[in-house]
Amino acid sequence: MCNKVTKNLYFLCSPNLGILENWLPVLYKLKLTKANIKLICIFPKTAIVQSVNLNDVLIKISEDVFDELIFPTNSGTWVSTPTLVNSIDITKNPDWFKYVLKFNLKFSDLFIGRFSKSMSRVFFSFYERNIKNISGVESVYELVQDPDALLFDINESSKEFNLQLFQRFQGIKKFTMHHGISIFEQKDSAVQVKVLDLSNITSYVFSQSEYVYCKDKYQISEGSIKVVGIPRYDKDWIAIIEEQQKNKISKRHWENFVFVVSRPISDYLPRERKISSLVMIKGFCDKYDLKIIIKRHPKESGDGTFEYVFGSGEYGESWMYSDDHPVHLGKLSEISIVFYSSLVVDLVVAGVPTIELLNLKGLSKYDTKDALKVNGEPVFDYRYYGLVFGASNSIELSKYFNDFLIQKETGTDRLMKNYNKIFTTDLNSSRKVANDILSKTS
């Protein structure tokens, strides 16, 4: 019997493309080793493939990293392709179908919505098979062949749409790393989650608090958890990103602009509060003669909110979207503003003055006696631990605009000190993780 030569390493791209921020530096290192490995990316949802922007720096790098991509089509059939370009073509909807999708979403709890969704699948099954000539299989099981390891985010192990996939990896080596950068509290691990299979798992974490979180919440043994630092902050990875950004044909950028990291409307960012925040930003940008560049969240829909506030006729004149790397945009900006995002940690490390503009006051789910508080106001973790400057209203935002633009006082050194109190610094993190994976799968 001959020994298997090529190792099949599967990467689960879930919950969204954001997981590439932390995992791609490691995957890139694995590819550079020239070891006999095959890197296969699994997109568990069609919508993730449809959110791919081929002009994004991380996507461009991904094209050279992955040997195969597996994903469900609009009809639910599973297929595999060698490139992201193929994937996008297969999952592209007819232009008119966006109205059907909106209808299905709006009436998802009613019979008519469920019936329309079912008929949509029937239509796509016919369309894919007879018009696009796409042939696939019914289950992802059939496409996952001879796996040697799964690379993923353990938080995704309990998601219903991933359960069948995880059953396929029973008894297979698993390597987990979170898709975001969070500061974990003891209460975060109060509710334990049972993972299907912990027999061959290694968890790579960014801090001591995350170490405790993984041990308590997922019952991972201490010897299987490694504090490795944050791979995307490796010096050589940052250099690769900057070089890719230089080679990219970007939209023109203004010299003086505010960089806004947006996110979708949610229970802690209701539509009316998001609009209010954007109106504030516009007001100060008009006052200080600054343009606005927006980085949308992967899950953010084009609902017209920005056009409503900033004016669709002003697009390209006073504001625009950009798919450039956020740290690149942050470094070029006068001020960076987020609503709530782990990107604040990236911007801290890059020395970019960043404001979290978010008001949780009066929101029953978040304005509670147990909430983290600063000056009596409920806040989220990044603001509480001093990794970002916080503003909940126009007066506080005005102070930061004055400090950063007029007084030229950024205070980013203080933010970096707070970062060093929480996170492990290792500028060779991705290589260490890659080598560990190779040694455990050889």
Asked, colleague to colleague, whether 7-233+427-441 and 251-422 share their fold, the answer is yes
DSSP assignments along 133-200, one per residue: ----BS-GGGT--S--EEEE-GGGTT-GGGHHHHHHTTTSEEEE--SS-----GGGGSS----S--TT
In angstroms, the CA 6 to CA 120 distance is: 40
Residue 181: Cβ within 10 Å count = 23
For the segment 41-79, what is each residue's pLDDT rounded down to a tens digit? 999 999 899 989 888 899 999 999 999 999 998 888 899
- State the pLDDT at residue 190: 57
- State the pLDDT at residue 253: 66
Residue 204: Cβ within 10 Å count = 26
- State the pLDDT at residue 101: 67
* CB of 380 closer than 8 Å to CB of 390: no
Q: In this model, does residue 375 exceed pLDDT 80?
A: yes
Q: How many CA atoms lie within 13 A of 293 on its CB side?
A: 25
Q: What is the pTM of this model?
A: 0.86
Of all residues in the chain, what percent carry a pLDDT higher than 90? 60
Fold classification of 251-422 (topology level) = Rossmann fold (3.40.50)
**Residue 314 pLDDT class (50, 70, 90 cuts):** very high
What are the domain boundaries of the chain?
A: 7-233+427-441, 251-422
**Residues 6 or more apart in contact with residue 164 via CB below 8 angstroms:** 139, 140, 141
Query: 111-126 vs 97-106: helix axis angle to the nearest 10?
Result: 150
E strand or H helix that includes residue 338: strand 335-338
Average pLDDT score over residue span 393-402: 95
Q: Which class is domain 7-233+427-441?
A: alpha beta
For the segment 406-433, what is each residue's pLDDT rounded down to a tens digit? 877 778 899 999 999 999 888 889 999 9
Q: Angle 150-156-162 (CA atoms, 0-180°, nearest 5)?
A: 75
- State the pLDDT at residue 1: 42
Average pLDDT score over residue span 172-195: 79
Query: Which is more confident, 238 or 121?
Result: 238
**Residue 362 pLDDT class (50, 70, 90 cuts):** very high
Q: In this model, does residue 298 exceed pLDDT 60?
A: yes
Q: In this model, does residue 97 exceed pLDDT 50?
A: yes
Average pLDDT score over residue span 361-369: 95
Average pLDDT score over residue span 174-190: 81
**Residue 131 pLDDT class (50, 70, 90 cuts):** low
Average pLDDT score over residue span 369-382: 94
- State the pLDDT at residue 40: 97
Query: Which is more confident, 336 or 193?
Result: 336
Q: In this model, does residue 3 exceed pLDDT 60?
A: no
Instruction: Give CA separation, 148 vs 5, 37, 87, 245, 370, in Å.
Output: 11, 10, 24, 34, 44
Look up residue 406 and give its amino acid.
I
User: Mean pLDDT of all residues in the chain?
Assistant: 88
